[in-house]
Amino acid sequence: MKNLSWENLCSTGIHPNLSPLDEQRIRLCNVLNICCLVLQLILSLMDFFWGDGAIMVILMVVFAIINLPLYLMLKAYHYRVCFIYIFVVTHVILMAVAVFNQNLGKIDDLQIVVVGLSAMGMVLFDRYLQVAAIVFNVTVYWVIVLIIKDVSRDWTYGNYYSVIVNFTVCYFFICVCVYFNKSNFRQFQALLIRRNEQLSQQTADLQEINQYKDQLFAVISHDLRSPLYHLQSTIRRLNEGHLSVDQSKQIINEIDFKTKDVSLLLSNLLNWANLQLSGYKSVIVEIPIREVVEEAILFQKEEINAKQMQVLNQVPAITIGWGDENHLQLILRNLLSNAVKFSFPAGRIIIEAEEKSDKTVISIQDTGMGIGPEALEMVLMGASRLSTLGTNGEKGNGMGLWISREFIRKNGGELWATSRAGEGSTFYFTVPNRKF
């Protein structure tokens, strides 16, 4: 009985690729077909008990040429053919009734039926087929009037004038109503599509944020907790006083490295959290690029010295950019930290900047491990945030480059890179050099 439910019967012929308008047309045809079948059943029972059986025969013919073909064509998803078939067959039946029924010769009755069928054509068809349906509808009317019934012999000019005016007014109002309803329906459909696209985009964004949230919890639980635990145990060893001077200095240097890692990690976490706040606004100011680069180099000084590397700040002193200075500092710290991490001992890093018409391009070039083409593409797209060990086994959390890309976009810039495995990488990003 589930397959015979009202919803299933009304949904016959509907599939996911249909437009909402065609879907409603098919539902309309199904509803009319079901209602007609119920009416035919009632009339057949009445004729069986109180009639002579003639009406039952006629209704069986109607079932064979209308109801059954309509169901079968919709079931086979031939809905456009079904619309045309129903429209044509109903007019053919009208002409057949005009031949055998003398009462249909009355001009008012005939006009009402023909106008009703024209309304069906306006609902079922679009554009050119609507015009063709009206022409066919009017042609059938005049065939009945002039040929089948031949009632025009007694007509005067006033009769023709009345018919033309009646049809014109009826067609006009039908067209206006149908066009208005279809226009509203299409606007609603377009709005619904836009809303669905927005919801899909929001869903994708939420899924990405949720995935990143999971990674953040992993980072917090491991990369943040482990250094703090190590720091706590190291300080305890220092307080015990059982270490030599050289051992104490070595441990203090380790503490310094760890606290810088934790500091950068906390900066990334806090700034990422700020980005997720809907009311958060960046503070856009004029930024002296060279000074910010110097601060980033100073922040990484201990790591640079530990690898005996050379970092050259070749940014011209007059170079400026516009954006959030805290964001730019974090971007440079992350990119420089990666360059140091993946460079070989005694390597060299060059930081340059070039002013274009409306932006400043900043580049960080290293002579380190490099990245393969596929891995580089995944990294730049944000599809991979897996941490890779540095040349001296340095650990990371995999979020520095990803969050840098987000900050660059937030400040109206873009990020790209060139790299060859074993030869080093150059990361580029832009900042506006005009206020935005």
DSSP codes of every residue in 192-253: HHHHHHHHHHHHHHHHHHHHHHHHHHHHIIIIIHHHHHHHHHHHHHHHHT-S-HHHHHHHHH
Residue 324 · residue 361 · CB < 8 Å: no
pLDDT digits (tens, 9 = 90+) for 110-143: 777 888 888 888 888 887 888 888 889 888 888 8
Count CB neighbours of 401 within 10 A.
Answer: 21
Range from 46-55, 411-420, 427-436 carrying the lowest mean pLDDT: 46-55
Residue predicted with more confidence, 434 or 169? 434
The model's confidence at residue 103, banded by pLDDT at 50, 70 and 90, is low
Length of the chain: 436
Is 222's pLDDT higher than 60? no
Q: Which pLDDT belongs to residue 311?
A: 92
Is 72's pLDDT higher than 70? yes
Count CB neighbours of 210 within 10 A.
Answer: 10
Q: Which pLDDT belongs to residue 429?
A: 94
Per the DSSP assignment, residues forming a β-bridge with 401 are none
The model's confidence at residue 239, banded by pLDDT at 50, 70 and 90, is confident
Residue predicted with more confidence, 374 or 173? 374
Return the closest-CA partner of residue 263 out of 295, 311, 224, 216.
Answer: 224
Residue 290 · residue 313 · CB < 8 Å: yes
Distance CA 123, CA 125 (A): 6
- Rounded average pLDDT over 255-261: 70
The model's confidence at residue 219, banded by pLDDT at 50, 70 and 90, is low
Return the closest-CA partner of residue 11 out of 221, 3, 404, 19.
Answer: 3
Per the DSSP assignment, residues forming a β-bridge with 286 are 322
Q: What is the dihedral of CA 134, 139, 140, 142, to 10 degrees?
A: 130
Is 291's pLDDT higher than 70? yes
pLDDT digits (tens, 9 = 90+) for 329-366: 889 988 998 888 888 888 899 999 998 888 999 999 99
Mean pLDDT computed over every residue of the chain = 80
DSSP 3-state of 144: helix
Residue predicted with more confidence, 259 or 305? 305
Distance CA 29, CA 35 (A): 10
Per the DSSP assignment, residues forming a β-bridge with 313 are 351
Q: Which pLDDT belongs to residue 232?
A: 75
Is 183's pLDDT higher than 90? no
- Rounded average pLDDT over 249-262: 71
Residue 119 · residue 170 · CB < 8 Å: no
Range from 172-176, 246-250, 279-283 carrying the lowest mean pLDDT: 279-283
Distance CA 230, CA 76 (A): 71
Range from 30-34, 152-156, 280-284, 413-417 carrying the lowest mean pLDDT: 152-156
Return the closest-CA partner of residue 337 out of 312, 364, 370, 300.
Answer: 300
Phi then psi dihedrals of residue 116, to 5 deg = -60, -40
Q: Which pLDDT belongs to residue 1?
A: 46
Q: What is the dihedral of CA 94, 99, 104, 108, to 10 degrees?
A: 70
Distance CA 434, CA 260 (A): 33
Q: Which amino acid is it at 119?
A: A
Return the closest-CA partner of residue 366 out of 329, 409, 420.
Answer: 420
The model's confidence at residue 97, banded by pLDDT at 50, 70 and 90, is confident
pTM of the predicted structure, to 2 decimals: 0.49
Is 55's pLDDT higher than 70? yes
Q: Could you tell me the two tokens for 194?
A: 């836009």
Residue predicted with more confidence, 317 or 383? 317
Count CB neighbours of 167 within 10 A.
Answer: 18
Q: Which pLDDT belongs to residue 194?
A: 86
- Rounded average pLDDT over 81-101: 84
